[in-house]
């Protein structure tokens, strides 16, 4: 509270757990309204420790200008606060109050800061108006720690779900809202892109039996596999393997003439010795290490592709008066949608297989839903840039060709980088 002298009317609330969020929203609005009262110099609301019954504690302190102002306030205002709380929350909120004067300020809840612990801004509700941090600064239970980490997954109206619904079902609307300044309700674009890409690559390429094999019991080999392994010890098979090794050595036998036509920049890097070493490394494990390296580099490759595609959009809409970063934002959202779509298709295929749904039906469903991707891009372009169907169709064709070309070149570069990294 401010150091200005004057009585303080302190109201304490203990709130049942099932209405805490609703009550906090009410309290935030109540604090703002209280500052409009002439006799109230200041109003601060902040959390305190839960009571013995586990109810969440909240306190509001109202600084009055004088004793006369306090009397008028208590006569008119406090009864209306209690009545409003009772009318909205019934017996789920317990209300008590007391008056603190200058010689009693040491009895106030000084251990609970009425200022934001992150930036020091005065708090008028459960969130800081400057940096957005929640006023509660202390995690007092394991459940609160878990809720803080995964709360957005279970709150229907959280930013996560609002973002995913807009991203999946309303092409271009997320970009349009962001450019119009409606941003607080959604996840930041690049954070969402990273979350969607990470989720896709984990679901698509993480094999728990391979990565966490120690937690799974070994699967017994079938009789046919055991017999085949036994036959591999036959001298004839060993002899054939030796011949295969000799063939592989011949395949990796490069000559200086193989690289002499390359441009100077590539010629200095693609030396005969280097090509031979890469070829032998790929042949040694049938390209498994190369494939893994390519998969590891794909997320970075797609990030590199984004600025190029944004540049194409900039060229396609020269009169839109949009900054380059706004075109980049459009494709950040589109890529996030693309990752989300692929993730849903993979999850569908896996669960459908578990339910013994015919493979043809699974393949047809995935094939049919794949048409939503180009449709989404087309509608998104119309939503964000506002042009007609014919003009958008022509630009859509150019953009698609540019994207396919950029993707092909990026993947070739990724393959080359991966090859020389193994």
> In terms of pLDDT, which residue wins out, 91 or 206?
91
pLDDT band, residue 148 (cuts 50/70/90): low
What are the CA-CA distances from residue 186 to residues 149, 158, 191, 315, 329 (Å)?
17, 9, 11, 28, 14
Output the DSSP codes for 134-179.
BS-----SHHHHHHHHHHHHH-TTSHHHHHHHHHHHSTTHHHHHHH
pLDDT band, residue 396 (cuts 50/70/90): very high
Q: What is the pLDDT of residue 75?
A: 73
Mean pLDDT, the chain, whole residue set = 77
Q: What is the pLDDT of residue 238?
A: 46
- CA end-to-end distance (rounded Å), the chain: 63
Q: Is the pLDDT of residue 346 over 60?
A: yes
Of all residues in the chain, the percent with pLDDT exceeding 70 is: 70
Q: What is the pLDDT of residue 104?
A: 46
Q: What is the pLDDT of residue 235?
A: 46
> In terms of pLDDT, which residue wins out, 256 or 336?
336
Which pLDDT tens digit goes with each residue over 296-323?
777 788 888 899 999 999 999 988 888 9
For residues 105, 108, 114, 118, the Cα torsion angle rounded to the nearest 10 degrees is: 100
The CA-CA-CA angle for residues 145, 150, 152, to 5°, reads: 125
Which pLDDT tens digit goes with each residue over 23-69?
998 998 888 888 888 778 888 888 888 888 889 999 888 888 887 87
According to DSSP, residue 387 is labeled -
pLDDT band, residue 332 (cuts 50/70/90): very high
Q: What is the pLDDT of residue 105?
A: 45
Q: What is the pLDDT of residue 232?
A: 55
> In terms of pLDDT, which residue wins out, 74 or 106?
74
> In terms of pLDDT, which residue wins out, 344 or 214?
344
> In terms of pLDDT, which residue wins out, 292 or 202?
202
Q: What is the pLDDT of residue 416?
A: 78
**7-11, 76-80, 116-120, 408-412: the lowest-pLDDT one:** 116-120
Q: What is the pLDDT of residue 111?
A: 44
Output the DSSP codes for 105-127.
GGGS-TTS-SB-TTT-PBPSSSB
Domain ranges of the chain: 8-138, 157-422
**136-145, 176-185, 292-301, 351-360: the lowest-pLDDT one:** 136-145
Q: Is the pLDDT of residue 133 over 70?
A: no
CB atoms within 10 A of CB 302: 18
Distance of alpha carbon 278 from alpha carbon 197, whole angstroms: 29
- Report for 82-96, 213-227, 269-283, 288-302: range of highest mean pLDDT: 82-96
Distance of alpha carbon 292 from alpha carbon 252, whole angstroms: 21
Which pLDDT tens digit goes with each residue over 166-186?
899 999 999 998 888 888 778
> In terms of pLDDT, which residue wins out, 349 or 207?
349
pLDDT band, residue 242 (cuts 50/70/90): low
- Domain range 8-138, its CATH number among 3.90.1640.10, 3.30.70.100, 3.30.1490.20, 3.30.365.10: 3.30.70.100
Arithmetic mean of pLDDT, 224-246: 52
Of all residues in the chain, the percent with pLDDT exceeding 90 is: 23
Arithmetic mean of pLDDT, 327-334: 92
Say if CB 341 and CB 373 are below 8 A apart. Answer: yes
Q: Is the pLDDT of residue 159 over 50?
A: yes
Q: Hey, is 183 helix, strand or coil?
A: coil
């Amino acid at each position: 509270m401010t150091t200005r002298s004057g009585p303080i009317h302190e109201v304490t609330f203990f709130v049942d757990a099932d209405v805490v969020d609703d009550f906090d929203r009410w309290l935030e609005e109540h604090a703002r309204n209280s500052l409009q009262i002439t006799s109230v110099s200041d109003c601060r609301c902040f959390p305190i420790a839960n009571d013995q019954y586990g109810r969440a504690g909240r306190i509001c302190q109202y600084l009055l200008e004088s004793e006369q102002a306090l009397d008028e306030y208590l006569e008119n205002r406090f009864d209306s606060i209690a009545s409003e709380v009772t009318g909205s929350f019934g017996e789920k909120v317990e209300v008590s109050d007391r008056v603190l004067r200058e010689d009693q300020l040491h009895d106030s809840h000084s251990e609970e800061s009425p200022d934001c612990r992150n930036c020091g801004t005065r708090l008028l509700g459960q969130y800081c108006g400057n940096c957005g941090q929640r006023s509660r600064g202390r995690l007092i239970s394991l459940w609160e720690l878990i809720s803080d980490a995964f709360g957005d997954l279970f709150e229907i109206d959280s930013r996560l779900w609002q973002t995913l619904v807009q991203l999946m079902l309303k092409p271009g609307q997320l970009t349009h809202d962001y450019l119009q300044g409606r941003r607080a309700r959604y996840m930041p674009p690049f954070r969402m892109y990273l979350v969607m890409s990470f989720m896709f690559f984990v679901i698509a390429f993480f094999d728990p039996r391979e990565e966490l094999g120690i937690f799974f019991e070994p699967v017994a080999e079938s009789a046919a596999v055991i017999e085949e392994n036994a036959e591999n010890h036959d001298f004839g098979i060993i002899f054939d393997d030796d011949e295969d090794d000799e063939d592989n050595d011949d395949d990796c036998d490069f000559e200086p003439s193989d690289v002499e036509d390359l441009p100077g920049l590539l010629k200095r890097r693609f030396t005969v010795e280097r090509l031979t070493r890469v070829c032998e490394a790929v042949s040694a494990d049938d390209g498994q290490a190369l494939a893994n390296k390519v998969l590891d580099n794909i997320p970075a490759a797609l990030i590199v592709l984004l600025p190029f595609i944004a540049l194409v959009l900039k060229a396609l809409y020269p009169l839109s008066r949009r900054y380059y970063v706004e075109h980049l934002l459009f494709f950040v959202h589109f890529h996030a949608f693309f990752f989300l779509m692929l993730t849903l298709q993979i999850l569908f295929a896996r669960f459908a297989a578990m339910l013994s749904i015919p493979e043809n039906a699974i393949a047809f469903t995935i094939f049919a839903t794949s048409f939503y991707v180009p449709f989404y891009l087309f509608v998104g372009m119309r939503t964000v840039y506002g042009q007609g169907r014919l003009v958008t169709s022509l630009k859509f064709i150019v953009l698609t060709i540019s994207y396919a070309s950029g993707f092909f070149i990026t993947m070739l570069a990724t393959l080359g980088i991966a090859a020389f990294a193994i």
